[in-house]
Amino acid sequence: MNPFQSLRDYEEYVYTLQQHFPAIQRSTLVVVQRGKRVAVLQGELTFAQGYRITIRERLSFDTDPVELEFYGYELWHGADKWAWYDAQPHPNDPTLASTYPHHKHIPPHIKRNRIPAPNMSFVRPNLPALIREITELLKE
């Protein structure tokens, strides 16, 4: 369920992520309103050991609650992009049907190697799942 009933709710969530997830060392996330009913979240979350997540979301708040219409999340370690998430439909790939259209690109051949992404959604926040993924890597 989407907990964000207004754009202001979503902004408060984004701008307090570091308080809720101490593994985040730095955030450059910014919510930019792009009209009466659309906003974009963009920026980066930085973690220890060179890990970071670049984030792009397109939000609609035409009706309550705020809806996530599009996202792209890239996971980096230093200069290496080691995974990314998106919801670009691939209807002819039966291996992605369980989480359609949400999926994760992974090595090898990161552009074409896709797996289901059960932790991604258009109706609940995705950032906690991404942050937990990085946090788990930091424990290793």
Report phi then psi at 108, rounded to 5.
Answer: -80, 170
Looking at the 3D structure of the chain, how many domains does it have?
Answer: 1
In a domain, 1, yes or no: no
Q: What whole-number distance in Å separates Cα of residue 31 and Cα of residue 40?
A: 6
On whether residue 2 sits in a domain, the answer given is: no
Q: What is the mean predicted confidence (pLDDT) over 26-42?
A: 95
Q: Considering only CA atoms, which of 78, 79, 56 is closest in space to residue 69?
A: 56
Predicted local distance difference test score (pLDDT) of residue 1: 58
Q: What would you report as the CA-atom Rg of the chain, rounded to the nearest whole angstrom?
A: 15
pLDDT at 113 over 70: yes
The whole-model pTM stands at 0.93
Q: Is residue 102 part of a domain?
A: yes
| Average pLDDT of every residue of the chain | 94
Beta strands in the chain (DSSP E): 26-27, 30-33, 38-46, 51-60, 67-77, 80-86, 103-105, 114-116
Residue 46 lies in a domain: yes
